[in-house]
Amino acid sequence: MVLKRQMLAVQDVYVPVKRRQTVDPHKVETLAESMLAKGQETPILVRPDGSRFVLVEGLHRLEACKALGETTVPAYLVQARKH
């Protein structure tokens, strides 16, 4: 299966509460600096859920985009079971 890269609005990506608790601010800062220098190299993974997308993988990349004031984030749509 080939994943299709898309640009999604940051506000349309929902982060489950359990995942939010694992954010490492230092890691977010380091990633944000890397993104400024090289751009975002690896898209986040999301699964569709109605009108929004639920984050599957890439919490720190998403948070780094938010920290940089980005309004969109590159993402791959995947089929994932609900946790």
The pLDDT assigned to 20 comes to: 81
Domains contained in the chain, CATH given:
5-77 (3.90.1530.10)
In which element (H, E) is residue 30 found? Answer: helix 25-38
CB 23 within 8 A of CB 66: no
* Spatial separation of the C-alpha atoms in residues 78 and 33, rounded to whole Å: 27
List the pLDDT tens digit at each of the 83 positions of the chain.
567 789 999 999 999 888 788 889 999 999 999 999 999 999 999 999 988 999 999 999 999 999 999 999 999 999 866 55
The pLDDT assigned to 3 comes to: 76
The pLDDT assigned to 21 comes to: 82
The pLDDT assigned to 38 comes to: 94
The pLDDT assigned to 4 comes to: 79
pTM to 2 decimal places = 0.88
